[in-house]
Amino acid sequence: FTIILGLGGYLLIVTQGAAILLSDITDMSFLASLIIAWFSYTLFTMYSGSKGVIITDTLMFLLFMTATVVFVVYIVDDFGGISTAITDLARLESKEGIASWTGIIGEGTSWATPLEYVIWAVVMDIAWAFVYAVGPWQASRHLMARDEHVVLRAAILACFFVIVLQMLIYGIGGLMNLANADITPSETVMIWAAKTLVPEFLGALLLTGIVAAALSSASTFLSLVGFSVGNDIGSTPLALTVNATRKIMLVTSLIVLVCCYFFPPNIFWFMLFIGTVFASSWGPVGLMSIWSKRITKDAAFWGMVSGFFMNVIPATIDYLGIYHMPEYYPPVIGTAVSVAVILVVSARGKVSREENIYRLRLHRPPLSDIDRAKTKITLLAPLGLVAYGALMPFLLLKYYVIPYQIGTGQISPDGSVNWNTGEALITLTVFMLHVPLALMAMKVIWDRYDPRSNRNQKILRRASLKQNKGVEPN
């Protein structure tokens, strides 16, 4: 149910995004662009399957990442370099404060004070940490991976690329104000830049990357929603054939198509909202199902249901203007209610022996993954996070803080960093966050897969004995 509504919402977002892009670059009507985008990903998803979607996801990522990096480098160079661009943005009178660590705040904005922005940012970051950990689009890919080492390497590397893409996309979006501060709607900023600020080939490459990203994401969400409709609705899964699955996906995509036409596009904020819905409904259940000995099947079910509705209902009340609340309230309320429901329902039930054994087996590494060579390679991923956390504060100081303080006049008289500003202090949080988490990840990986640990020695000996007796090891 949560997959159908949540990922259905994401499918709506990316479909609208692709339609807006096609409409803007071709001068077709929004409806015609919407139908073309819908037809493209629906036809592909129906006939390619999950493996085909994975291939297009990979190609999309390579294309979009390459196009974005080249595009940003060209634009920043045209603005005189990153330092000059940041200084000029800090001096932009039409949008005062846009280059600050909080962005534009105050009356008439989403955040009246810096504290409100900090609370919102922390809540959103924690929510999206849950999403990256247990989101269905992540979990579905992890289940297809060759082994746990591939999952861990890919998950940590994904953190890198999320960081890089966010800095590039959000950063260049802000810098676009130096060229044109009145682009509306805001979702078309990159499209406008691709059409007016870069050579035709580079603009076409970026637009192709954006279209590929939208259609690839849509195919992923449609496949997950379609499979969920077939397997999760009703007391027993449907006896699905290939044709039946295709029909379900077609009907699902038609419903989304109709919703796309009638719902006004609000892509950025709707994307954030859907993410928090998964955080409050899937987050507590996902983590407690692994680490808690007490959570029961019923508790997991009602925890997901309550987390979903107690996020959506407050958000709907705020959206309709019935009662206005800070934007971070719905995910906090949903998560708190989900945890409370899980604890209450678990206290009234009992974990079965089969459920307990299954959970314990999740904590036992597969025999093929207990490998020193594989483990050393996997450890390189969190080691990269350590390097990032140690290096990035210096880069931020040089290319963001100092140019910003020069632009605002906050720089110290001797030209050194003024540490009494939020922009300077926030650079330290990169080290404080990434390095401890990376070291924790390295310890967990080493403890789980080191062949010399006592637990893994027992697993290897047990497997060897079973093999000698002609029994297939578990």
Q: What is the pLDDT of residues 128-154, one digit of tens each?
A: 888 888 877 777 777 788 899 999 998
pLDDT level of residue 221 (50, 70, 90 thresholds): confident
Supply the DSSP symbol for 188.
G
Q: Which range, 17-21, 227-231, 340-344, is most confident?
A: 340-344
Please state the rounded mean pLDDT for residues 420-429. 93
Long-range contacts of 283-287 (CB under 8 A, 24+ apart): 283/127, 283/130, 283/131, 283/133, 283/134, 283/307, 283/335, 283/338, 284/335, 284/338, 284/339, 284/342, 285/134, 285/338, 285/342, 286/130, 286/133, 286/134, 287/130, 287/133, 287/134
Between 320 and 271, whose confidence is greater?
Answer: 320
| CA 291/CA 10 separation, integer angstroms | 29
- The whole-number pLDDT of residue 230 equals 63
- The whole-number pLDDT of residue 146 equals 86
Q: What is the pLDDT of residues 225-251, one digit of tens each?
A: 776 766 666 555 555 555 666 777 777
- The whole-number pLDDT of residue 231 equals 63
pLDDT level of residue 19 (50, 70, 90 thresholds): confident
Of 88-97, 183-192, 205-214, 243-252, least confident by mean pLDDT is 243-252
pLDDT at 162 over 90: no
| CA 208/CA 168 separation, integer angstroms | 17
Q: What is the pLDDT of residues 354-404, one digit of tens each?
A: 888 988 888 889 989 999 999 999 999 999 999 999 999 999 999 999 999
- The whole-number pLDDT of residue 264 equals 67
- The whole-number pLDDT of residue 253 equals 77
Structure tokens at 474: 């578990």
Between 111 and 265, whose confidence is greater?
Answer: 111
pTM of the predicted protein model? 0.80
pLDDT at 102 over 70: yes
pLDDT level of residue 467 (50, 70, 90 thresholds): confident
| CA 230/CA 140 separation, integer angstroms | 16
Chain CA centroid to CA 190, Å: 20
Tell me how many helices (H) and strands (E) the chain has.
17, 0
Please state the rounded mean pLDDT for residues 45-51. 68
Please state the rounded mean pLDDT for residues 330-353. 92
pLDDT level of residue 34 (50, 70, 90 thresholds): confident
pLDDT level of residue 18 (50, 70, 90 thresholds): confident
- The whole-number pLDDT of residue 247 equals 74
**Residue 402 in contact with residue 411, Cβ under 8 Å?**
yes
Tell me what percent of the residues of the chain surpass a pLDDT of 70: 91
The angle that helices 200-232 and 2-26 make with each other, rounded to 10 degrees, is 160
Mean pLDDT, the chain, integer:
84
- Nearest CA to 441 among 156, 96, 236, 211? 156
Of 36-50, 113-127, 182-196, 366-380, least confident by mean pLDDT is 36-50
- The whole-number pLDDT of residue 389 equals 94
pLDDT at 55 over 90: no
| CA 38/CA 11 separation, integer angstroms | 10
